[in-house]
Structure 1
Amino acid sequence: MNTPADDEVEVLIIGPSRSGAGGVNRYITGQCRYLPERIRTRVYSVAVPPGTGLARFALAVLIALKQMLLFPFRRPPDVVHIHSAQWNSFYQSSWYVLFVALVWRCPVVLHVHGSSFDEFLEVDSLPVRSLQSVVFDASDVVVALSDSWAEVLESHVDPRKVVVLHNAVDVSEYDPSFSTSPVRMSYVSRHIERKGTRELVEAIDQLAEEVPIDITIASQGPLSHLVEDLADSRSGVEYVGYVSEERKRKILDESMVYVLPTYAEGVPIAILEAMAGGNAIVSTGVGGIPSVVDEDNGVLVEPGDADELADALRTLLADPDRIRAMARASRRRVEAAHSWETVTADLVELYDSLAPSSRETADAPPEESYASK
């Protein structure tokens, strides 16, 4: 390491930071909270109002343009860390990457999130593919969430630039019960098609015909009416709607099986939180999920298949000892690889390698840089 341990590094974090936002917002919050004091962070939020429809889209565009116009008046930092996803998020991030790289001439970390970034990379549009290439070339480091996502990116990005940094949670905030009397299940995610809400409802409805069910379903969304109907018609199904972070942690601590039959993901922080709460995971083998869930701590099914999901849950619920072993394996795994203590050490190493004092004194050629490890 070329930067002395007591040297300060100022990092400007750019991303959708706002109250009540999703996993990227929680990651940004963790960055600011858990990085050591010598890594001084500032956040420039590029959040826009959620929702659909022409009026919402027009408002989002206007707010995004205002954010871009105001951005150049900020003080340049040592390193800029930009969180991005596919489509509109990437177009928005592109402006910041290019401004920082070409005008400020600061090192840029482009952190790729997003459940469908692989599809975005394969879009059949020359202008979009060209923009992707320019943005990746301008970035010093491109962060992937898992080894599988790194392989996806490396087909479009110089592999020497691609670095895997895991998503993280504060494991100390969770106190799992590991109780299987009864086996309690949970689902805490937005009620939308992509998250598999419809398949969850169908699978639980099937199981409720055969065995006693104990499941808590939280959050809300366009498909919440399906969950409400399920809770009204089946005993043992509790629908609690939107919950606070504290209430969410309590739900995950008390449950033993977390269900997320999602269609597309990066590496969901929701699953990491469930693992920290001591849950066996029943999910799908999409995106980076297989990097955190395997036969030791869960079961993976095909997305969109309610019958297979019901079969997996039926088999698991019949074996409480297996559930308990999986739950403990989940907790150990998240402690070892996805705690903020571990991830912040990787972030500090990355920032130190990019900070001006490190770059000016580095003796190693580019291919020996942090990004090539």
Structure 2
Amino acid sequence: MSTLNVAQVESRVRADGGFAVYVHWPFCQAKCPYCDFNSHVRHKAVDQTRFAAAMARELATFASWTAERRPLSVFFGGGTPSLMEPSTVAAILTAIDDTLGLPADAEITLEANPTSVEAARFEGYRAAGVNRVSLGVQSLNDTELAALGRLHDAATARAALALARRIFPHVSADLIYARPRQTTTAWAAELSDMLDLAGDHLSLYQLTIEPGTRFFDLAEMGKLVVPEDDAAADLYELTGEMTRAAGFSRYEVSNHARPGGEARHNLVYWRGGSYIGIGPGAHGRLNENGTRTATSTERHPETWLAKVEADGHGLTEHEPLGAGARADEYLLMALRLTEGMDLDAYAARAGAPLDEARIDALAAGGFLRRDGRRIAVPDTARLLTNAVVRELAA
């Protein structure tokens, strides 16, 4: 592996958002009632060697379509990647290095559930090259964990966090708030507890009820009621206050980090970079001879596997994005960031600049902050980010 120094990383990110690889492992022990991700439960052992070989083959196919090399980050998402054997992770990372040239200081993240069986694999993942783990804690309350369909309890989550912090240089944890009947007092106590346990990154998500999930069905029947918008807004503001006081900065709508703990991989997405997505149901954005191309793959794992073995990829979508789609995507993603977006980068994607009159009007109303050729949504208007994006894109 070669080394990509900090100056090179920063130069590349400023120029084009960077380049990354996403690996989707679609298998879970159980389907959580709030989850609309591409995840599947299998009651027989998964042939991990076969899936890893297919991922390597799909990677080689996509790599042949783009000149991008030396990814800044690799992210194993799911599903539950911590159901992978460390040898499977190592095989995929070797394929990425052989195909693209993986810098020695690349950020390599693996999502993990904090069950004791999976935590025991942490040493193996670290040896394979993983240097950042993202733990799906979701709650530190046993009753709430059961309601969320999680298979771990709070004590197991605490133990997994402590173990992860001993093994990995960077540790992130997820929590879900605005749960049914949740009060600001209860959330403050739970978040305070997590801040005492946290590594250098927290992803704190408001519970959303997604179509196709068990929670959606319950909500439709009136059996599940989440906090009203005003109450959820209070929880969001409280979250920002508490994380800030603990030394975390909210650098994206739902993500908080200590200095240097920001997720490099997700920044590639939010800054409009390109990325190869491999595995069942993975999405990608490829730079193909200067054309930004959207890719997505077959969601059903075994069908994807057969397609890759037959054709070299499991694609269901491979479409060039027009100027409008490129610009709208960048606007939507970059304005989620506290640092905001580059107006020249937007114009390059759109083929035309944003309307200065709209920018000025939103800035005058306190909905945008402007600094030269950059605009951002200030903290005081963060809850209105989607409305700001709609106004700018209109």
**TM, length-normalised to structure 2:** 0.34
**TM, length-normalised to structure 1:** 0.36
More strand by percentage: 2
